[in-house]
Chain A
Amino acid sequence: MKIKRRDFLKGLAGSAVLAMASPAVATSSEGKRLPDALGILYDATLCVGCQVCMVACKKANAMPVEHSGSERLWDNPADLSASTLNIIKKYENGTAKNKDLEIDGYAFVKRHCMHCVDAACVSACPASALTKELKTGIVSYNKNACIGCRYCQVTCPFNIPKFEWDNPFPKIVKCQLCSHLLAKGQIPACCGECPTGASLFGPVKDLLEEAERRQKMTAGKYYEFPVSDMSSTKIQIHKAKNYMSHIYGKSEGGGTQILMLSGVPFDKLGLPVLPDHSYTAIAENIQHTLYKGMILPIVAFGGLIFLVKRAEKNKKS
């Protein structure tokens, strides 16, 4: 096939536009933390596994109980589900005698929506049913806008959104940081009920400071820990544990509004190992570059028209 000079130049221009798109990838829409973002600091070393947060969560959100196993005696979900927004899970290793130790130890972890700074579900949702509140950064869900595509389930790196498979009019179910309680001036139920301060509610910037303060503590010494809410005066004295040197959620996938501290590596607690940049930002950059000003689609469409016309001309001749 003979390539005309004109066609060659056209193709060259097209690929140049594509090439220009790639350097922009890592920077453009990557999330910056909102100044008034709200979140939770979960300190696994303070968690005693009492599960009162699960009870409080179900009560506050009017969620049904969930039985797993053959005995229907307890509300004992095996994982997050359409009727469980929040779950305490347990890591066990070897003899499982020592709390917050990786070897021969055990640790608790609380799982629920991480309220990502750059939420993949919000980006993926074609109907804007999942939105990130402009002030608080809470990722909330509007069932009236939802079309049931479940892209959010596929895209969430933490496997959080759950779908009501058994409901003829199904909804996506996930933690919304008890925004109905926040509207009434209360705090999320899990933090309100937590007896040890393991779940601590507050502005993310304060929680980050608090997490950094805890990481500087000397293990074995006693320190004051705020309980329930960063702004409350409730204080408890606990012995500081050997914290992992990392604050989970500080940078994971572009950062999350739920921060975690632990004495056990986070991947052992079932938390995914994520790069510092956000996948959402990459995906959005590619998409936005491809469709920017509709230039590339028009070029591609023009190219197609040209090819068809040429083919027809060849046929006639």
Chain B
Amino acid sequence: MKEHNFEGPIRETLKGVSRRDFMKFCGIMAVSMGLPLSAGTQIAEAVSNPRRPPVIWLHGQECTGCTESLLRTSHPSLEHLILDLISLDYHETLNAGAGHQAEAAFENSIKENAGKFIMVVEGSVPIKDGGIYCMIGGRPFADIVKETAAKAAAVIAIGSCASWGGVQSSEPNPTGATGVPQFLKGTTVVSIPGCPPNAYNFLSTVLYFLTFKKLPALDELGRPKFAYGRLIHENCERRPHFDAGRFAEQFGDEGHLQGYCLYKLGCKGPMTHANCPSILFCDAGSGAWPVGTGHPCFGCTEEGIGFTIPLHTTSDIGIVTPAAEHAPIQTQRGTGISKGSAALLGGIAGAAIGAGAMVAKRLGDKDKGD
């Protein structure tokens, strides 16, 4: 029964939250990461630790959409997250203080928690012209990222801007916008791409790190496999329509009203890795994601797709599989010989026979001559 003696600290840290609710939350988080329910107990141990892990959240070239999506989570809610689970020491949108006061908190936290804090970067790093296109407290953002990352326990890039450059890295990319993994070459950076990313992918990653003291399994682009291991197309609720060849041809047509596949309207699901169809957005119930509402996937998580391929251009198919239809027993191949080609072949054959006859005749003449 030793593993249950963290109930005391939970009460202490989570005033007003019942143990039952708390354990439920931990269980949900475990399941959303694809971990066994029992991992919920371990998560509870980790987050009820009296010393909350410090988080430094940096903002570069971005729209704060990632933070906005994080503000809308319900399990845990934002106040639960920043007051009970983590110690959010610096976040420009959520800081109580401002100016020198905020900067001082930032400096202090880095000094105190060197090697222990989680660094989260939202937004891309502009590197053109010495990084002057994004300055914070009079210093280029690029320098701040580099210095802070050197002291962080883990670096998480939240959103497509931080993961690979996002919208501002599209041609002609005037500021030299660069994703954090590309900017901090050699450092392991967990990417949570998306515009905005699903906040639960971020929360799950943070809690995994707090619980197991290591990062979750990542793919070659640094994305957690539990969230970005599959193409949207693989789990899409409209996939059966794709397999059966039932497509919406234009917005508002009969197929669109019937909920058919949106591939021909430019859906990038077949090329985009994300778990949107599985965990949806904003806890609003079924259908709460772009394809669910009738809009083709834009490919926001995937570099080279979102903000790169035009919205309504059809994409390639990442994993090509058979259609729902089957080949018939007998296959008709070709349409037989056409009149034109028959005439041509006849002509060639005739010419060959004629030439052969002439050659034979001449041979005979030659024999006679001899």
Contacts and interface: CB of A to CB of B under 8 A. Distances in A.
A90 B327 contact: yes
A79 B327 contact: yes
Interface stretch (B104-112, B180-188, B315-323): B315-323
Interface residues of B, number: 17
Contacts of A268: 329
A75 interface: yes
Interface stretch (A48-56, A143-151, A195-203): A48-56
Nearest to A79: B331
A71 B323 CA distance: 11
A75 B320 contact: yes
A88 B328 CA distance: 9
A91 interface: yes
Interface in B286-334: 317, 320-323, 325-331, 333
A78 interface: yes
Interface string A57-95: 000000001000001111111110000000111111000
B322 A54 contact: yes
B331 A55 contact: no
Contacts of A91: 329
A108 B243 CA distance: 18
B242 A76 contact: no
B263 interface: yes
B69 to A, nearest CB: 32
B329 A108 contact: no
Contacts of A88: 322, 326-327
A51 B321 CA distance: 9
Contacts of A77: 327
Contacts of A75: 320-322
A90 B322 contact: no
Contacts of B263: 73
A51 B320 contact: no
A55 B322 contact: yes
Interface in A232-274: 268-270
B242 A73 contact: yes
Nearest to B326: A90
B331 A108 contact: no
A79 B323 CA distance: 14
A109 interface: yes
A74 B323 contact: yes
Contacts of B245: 71, 73
B322 A270 contact: no
A269 B329 CA distance: 6
Contacts of A55: 321-322
B89 to A, nearest CB: 48
A252 B242 CA distance: 40
Interface in B230-288: 242-243, 245, 263
A201 to B, nearest CB: 21
A73 B329 contact: no
Contacts of B323: 73-74, 76
A54 B329 CA distance: 16
Contacts of B317: 72-73
A87 B327 contact: yes
25 contacts: A55-B321, A65-B320, A71-B245, A72-B317, A73-B242, A73-B263, A73-B317, A74-B320, A74-B323, A75-B320, A75-B322, A76-B325, A77-B327, A78-B331, A78-B333, A79-B331, A79-B333, A88-B322, A88-B327, A90-B326, A92-B328, A108-B326, A109-B329, A270-B329, A270-B330
Interface of A: 49, 51, 54-55, 65, 71-79, 87-92, 108-109, 268-270
Given A73-B242, A90-B326, 10 more contacts: A54-B322, A55-B321, A72-B317, A73-B263, A74-B323, A79-B331, A79-B333, A88-B326, A90-B329, A269-B329
Q: Which 5 A-B pairs have the closest CB atoms?
A: A90-B326, A74-B323, A270-B329, A51-B322, A65-B320
